[in-house]
Structure 1
Amino acid sequence: MFVKNLAVVFSLTLVTFCNSSFIEDLPKCHLEDFDCLKDVYQTMIRKMGKEGLKEFNIPPLDPMKLTNVNVNVHNLVNVTMVDGIVKGIRDCVFDAFSIDIKEGRGHQENTCDLVIKGHYTAEASSDLIAALLGGSSIHGDGHAKVTVGQVHVKFDFPFYAQKRDDGEIYIKCNYDLVKYDYDIGGPFVIKADNLYLGDKESSKLITDMINQNWRILMTGFGQPFITKAIEEFYFKWSGNFFDKVAARHFIIEDLSPYARP
């Protein structure tokens, strides 16, 4: 029992040491060295994506779990990922990253190839469905896999240097005011089972229609899905890191002149 407990203590100590070492070993950048800052973010995503950062209670990023994530598309289609995952975020490429601490503005561009899969439910009823597929409604409860290639997202985000009671300065973003735009280069491929058109099992018919017309459908209906991805990834995970890791670990300059509560 003593040996077993000792092994547990050793393992926890090793995890803490490795996580602390990761934070201490982050590249440190000047505020105007945008290539360096971009590399810090890229390093953070790739090294932490698999294991998270346990000492800061930051969960792994890739795969990202989705539980009961619901998207309603313009009151036409209601899709819920009951239990699924998103893979590929760890390998997103950071095309651009810049900040202006005096103006409190930042800009970021990412390109990702994503795979979303798991247990889904779906309900839809509209004239569009009738026109495209010859049926009045769609419903499904099964398993789906969606491959989305070359998702390019541009962010403009407000932020400031925040001094806290622990004496440290953190980068604090206002996520309610983030502005973004995106495009999807493709490919976009969906596979699903147990998908019905009216009372008839029509998984292949429906998914073939989506795959053949994905550019048109994503132009009209894609925004809610991209918004949900931004909420789940950028706001929650990325914000979690900056809320918990002091700026001195990755920025060389003293941010005290810019800091506020």
Structure 2
Amino acid sequence: MKTFVVTLCLIVFPHTCVKLPPNFIKCNRHEPNFEECLIKAVNYDIAQMYKPHKKVRLPGVEPLELVSMSSNVDTNLIKLTERLKNCQFHGVSKGRFRTFVFDFQRRVISANANLPFVESSCDYKLNGTILGVALKGEGPSWLDFTSFNMSFYVTYDEVVKNNKTYVKIATCKVDGKPEKLHFRIDNLFDGDEEAGRRVNDIVNENWSVLYDDIKNEYLDIPGGMLATILKGFFSRVSLEELFD
């Protein structure tokens, strides 16, 4: 059993067709080198997102900000109630796509990407158990991801407005696992440093099994963030503007 509520710092606006930013690479879907152009374009364009592009509703990703997240998790190894706020993720613009496919017939976007290193920080409040060990606290926390290999599978519908075709995101699924995770959770047990150190050691020593236990739940978070970003972008930029 799990529930999540995620708030990303991004607002989705109604359909208003705008041009792709001039510093973005544009690919023509009718050209024979479209797939080659597309992977080059997405890797180049994500590197431009260190700052926001407001006209096309793309947020700046250095840092990428998550306003808040609330979760109630009950898995085999983790049972806790958690609230995160003021989260920042650094390193997202360094991600590189290895594959990127835009299937217009099936209305599917699929991709594989690698994030070499992402550092995140959040203010937290939690209460529960991990591996049967009680933990409780409120304060700052940090989480580092090393070499996160991720896959994305997005389905969409098409909406025609003012003779332009827009993408309406239907589902967004993210999968993957990093090569390494490292946690630091401060101020556990009202600042009991020894108890806090033991819990941090347990979490870091067992990060892989803990990740596998909760992966399907927590990957809903980047899935929701990606869906929100895509909804904002495709609400402003038509398929004709992107690919014709």
State the aligned residue count: 220
Distance 2:207 2:122 in 1: 20
The answer as to whether partners of 1:140 and 1:196 remain within 8 angstroms in 2 is yes
The answer as to whether partners of 1:74 and 1:221 remain within 8 angstroms in 2 is no
* Corresponding residue SS for 2:199: helix
Q: Which residue in 2 is equivalent to 1:182?
A: 176
C-alpha deviation, 1:57, in angstroms: 4.3
Distance 1:39 1:250 in 2: 14
Distance 2:20 2:111 in 1: 27
Counterpart residue type for residue 191 of structure 1: R
What residue ranges of structure 2 are gaps of 5+ in the alignment? 1-17
Q: Which runs of at least 4 in structure 1 moved beyond 6 Å after TM superposition?
A: none
Q: Which residue in 1 is equivalent to 2:235?
A: 243
The answer as to whether partners of 2:149 and 2:177 remain within 8 angstroms in 1 is yes
Higher relative contact order (CA 8 A, sep 6+): 2
The 1:109/1:115 distance shift into structure 2, 3 A limit, reads same
Counterpart residue type for residue 72 of structure 1: N
Distance 1:236 1:205 in 2: 37
The answer as to whether partners of 1:35 and 1:97 remain within 8 angstroms in 2 is no
| TM-score normalised to structure 2 length | 0.79
The answer as to whether partners of 1:147 and 1:189 remain within 8 angstroms in 2 is yes
C-alpha deviation, 1:24, in angstroms: 7.2
Residue 113 of structure 2, aligned match among 95, 102, 110 = 110
The answer as to whether partners of 2:20 and 2:56 remain within 8 angstroms in 1 is no
Measured on the aligned residues, the alpha-carbon RMSD in Å equals: 2.5
Distance 1:196 1:26 in 2: 51
Distance 1:95 1:21 in 2: 23
C-alpha deviation, 1:26, in angstroms: 2.8
The answer as to whether partners of 1:85 and 1:118 remain within 8 angstroms in 2 is yes
Asked whether 1:156 is paired with 2:153, we answer: yes
Bigger radius of gyration among the two: 1
Distance 2:55 2:175 in 1: 34
The 1:94/1:46 distance shift into structure 2, 3 A limit, reads same
Asked whether 1:214 is paired with 2:210, we answer: no
| TM-score normalised to structure 1 length | 0.74
The 1:25/1:226 distance shift into structure 2, 3 A limit, reads closer
Distance 1:211 1:34 in 2: 40
Distance 2:23 2:165 in 1: 16
Counterpart residue type for residue 30 of structure 1: R
Aligned residues with identical type, % of pairs: 15
Counterpart residue type for residue 69 of structure 1: M
The answer as to whether partners of 1:71 and 1:224 remain within 8 angstroms in 2 is no
The 1:23/1:78 distance shift into structure 2, 3 A limit, reads farther
* Corresponding residue SS for 1:229: helix
Distance 2:72 2:205 in 1: 22
